[in-house]
Structure 1
Amino acid sequence: MNKLVLGIDGGGTKVLARIADETGATLGEGASGACSISAMPVAEAFASARAACEAALAGRSASEVTAVCACVAGFSVVENRYAFQALLAEWFSHAHVIVEGDFVAAFTGATAGAPGIIVIAGTGQVAYGENGAASHKAGGYGYLIDDSGSGYGVGRAALAAVLKAADGLGERTILTERIQDVVGLGAPEIIAAVYGGALDRVRIASLSKVVADAANDDGDHVSQRILMQAGGALAQIAEAVSRKIFTADDPPFPIVPIGSLWRAGDYLKNVFVRSAHRFAPQATIIEPLEPPVQGAVLRALRL
């Protein structure tokens, strides 16, 4: 019987599953809703994963699968991780099953499993790298602790800039008008909207595009500084990973930016690239080689 492996990439908005053979070639794929084991009940996260896996199996039996790697959001909540793994192991009773963080799938796909570092900057942020047996993660603390360099962090900084400009604590910024155009709120209403929930985490993160447009199209100095500070924050977490697992004597390795915030333009990217060349002169900045779900497949093939 041919070896079949299953990779699962579970995120806060959707989950993807991919069945592959022993060469890593895709045999089936499926998708479903959110699969974060910290932001939703484990049973609901598993139900989403199961729906995606059943679509990927396409009539095959779960008993045919020999290895499963599920890389899911919310991995740091240990008791939920074990509960999720137990549900998978009960279903795929003939398989070796592991559960890892979603950033692990992103890394393995982005580098095809080779040594390197990824820097994810979307709604949140995190840096993760591997070099042989060594691995390290930096950042990813969440928006309540510190999400500097994330879409949420940029959006939050934009709201703060608007409020400070209104109070005379900061310079005037076109963000005042641009944010009002997008969310329909002026400075007096912003605080109530944030604490009342009308401006939630995802909506605040979406304001990062407003900041990028103001920086790149309108030449707004406040927006440009916000993006440069975000680039610096992302460089800091990448450097922390690099210091832990690489030395100056190591051969060249890739640093892979991943996530929507990297599309914000050169004010962010140039700060990051300059810093990366300083702390890791041998590193090259590349695009991801494979998607995260294929990274999960590659991890499953190692089992």
Structure 2
Amino acid sequence: MGIDAGGTHARCAAISSTGALVGRVGGPGANVHRHGLQASGRSLVGLVRAALGDAPPAGPVYAAVCAAGLDTVEVEAALADGLREAAPDIDWSLANDAMGAWKGAFGAGSSGVVAISGTGSVAFARNGVREARAGGWGALLGDEGSGYAIGRSALIAVLRQHDHLGPPTSLCGPVLRQLGLTEPRSIIDHMHFRMQPSDVAALAPVVLEHASTGDQEAGRIVDAAAAALVGFARAAATAVRGEGDPPTPFALVGGVSGDAHFRARVRLRSTGPALCLSWQEAQASPIVGSVRLAMEAAATACPGLIGNIELTPHLTAAIEAAA
């Protein structure tokens, strides 16, 4: 079972030891920083139970959780303890969501760097046994290049225009309408009392749309986000590069990455010999990477258990259809 849990949404897909899709479900985000250890744990256990359905499996169940917010061994251990107490019949393994994204993007590859742009942002690189990450500090400390950062910049742009401190932008009307507000100063109370990071990130599509149609301030926001992601990717890749290594394969995933204009801006900024990055499309999405990690855990615990499983294009597509 693979679980890909971001700040806004979580997905779970389960396959059998014969390579058949058992179940796939979706649910709310499970970032422990945002939802807390107990609530995140309940959500994750609920996803696993829903994916397995009413008929319990005949053999062991291996679940790999790749979740935003799992940044330290202390937090990872605390969540793992809660999961094992709530569902002792499941063999749990945990990792940051960047690990599942990497496994999905590069599969069995040995080198690459993946950047996630969803509610939050992070980059993770691997070169053989060497690993490094950059970013992923959360909304309070950074998350540049994320949907949250794009949405927050839009709110600031609207307020700066209102105070005659910033350039004119067409974002004001659409942003206020999406928030259900009538004047810019209402953003202050709305942001502090009512908005979660996911609500701020939900403004990103508005910014991307206006950037693609020529709004200069929206374009500046998008370019800044693209530059931040490439910076994270380069920093992580540089940390694991060996002397004389070829450019590091670079893939972009996450909810914001689905926008064609944004992908084009990131790809453009990642091009250049000095960056030592080589753009490529991800082989599969993070949910597939999470399933791969669960398969690896099962293979380690029970050699030969999943020896016949092959993540064919058909099975991969079925896993990726998880809601």
TM-score under structure 1 normalisation? 0.84
What amino acid maps onto 2:35 in structure 1? M
Match of 2:99 in 1: 104
Which stretch shifts more, 267-276 or 103-112? 267-276
What amino acid maps onto 1:128 in structure 2? F
Find 2:115's aligned residue among 119, 122, 128: 119
What amino acid maps onto 1:30 in structure 2? R
Unaligned runs of 5+ in 2: 298-323
Determine if contact 1:212/1:265 at 8 Å carries over to the other structure. no
Tell me the percent identity. Answer: 29
Q: How many residues align?
A: 292
Match of 1:191 in 2: 188
- The structural deviation recorded for 1:121 is 0.8
Does the C-alpha gap of structure 1 residues 278 and 193 become closer, same or farther in structure 2, counting only changes over 3 Å? farther
- The structural deviation recorded for 1:252 is 5.5
Does the C-alpha gap of structure 1 residues 225 and 133 become closer, same or farther in structure 2, counting only changes over 3 Å? same
Match of 1:258 in 2: 253
Does the C-alpha gap of structure 1 residues 185 and 207 become closer, same or farther in structure 2, counting only changes over 3 Å? farther
Find 2:146's aligned residue among 134, 146, 150: 150
Which stretch shifts more, 128-137 or 106-115? 106-115
Q: Deviations over 1:155-214 (max 9, x none)?
A: 11112122222222222211223323332332222222222x234322222222221222
- The structural deviation recorded for 1:22 is 5.5
Determine if contact 2:66/2:95 at 8 Å carries over to the other structure. yes
The 5 Å alignment of 1:1-303 reads 6-21=1-16, 25-34=19-28, 35-58=30-53, 59-61=55-57, 64-65=59-60, 67-76=62-71, 78-89=73-84, 91-92=87-88, 95=91, 97-114=92-109, 115-183=111-179, 184-195=181-192, 197-217=193-213, 219-247=214-242, 249-251=244-246, 253-266=248-261, 269-270=264-265, 272-281=267-276, 283-286=278-281, 288-303=282-297
Determine if contact 1:254/1:285 at 8 Å carries over to the other structure. yes
Cα separation, 2, equivalents of 1:20 and 1:147: 33
Does the C-alpha gap of structure 1 residues 134 and 263 become closer, same or farther in structure 2, counting only changes over 3 Å? same
Does the C-alpha gap of structure 1 residues 157 and 268 become closer, same or farther in structure 2, counting only changes over 3 Å? farther
Q: CA RMSD in A?
A: 2.7
Cα separation, 2, equivalents of 1:77 and 1:252: 29
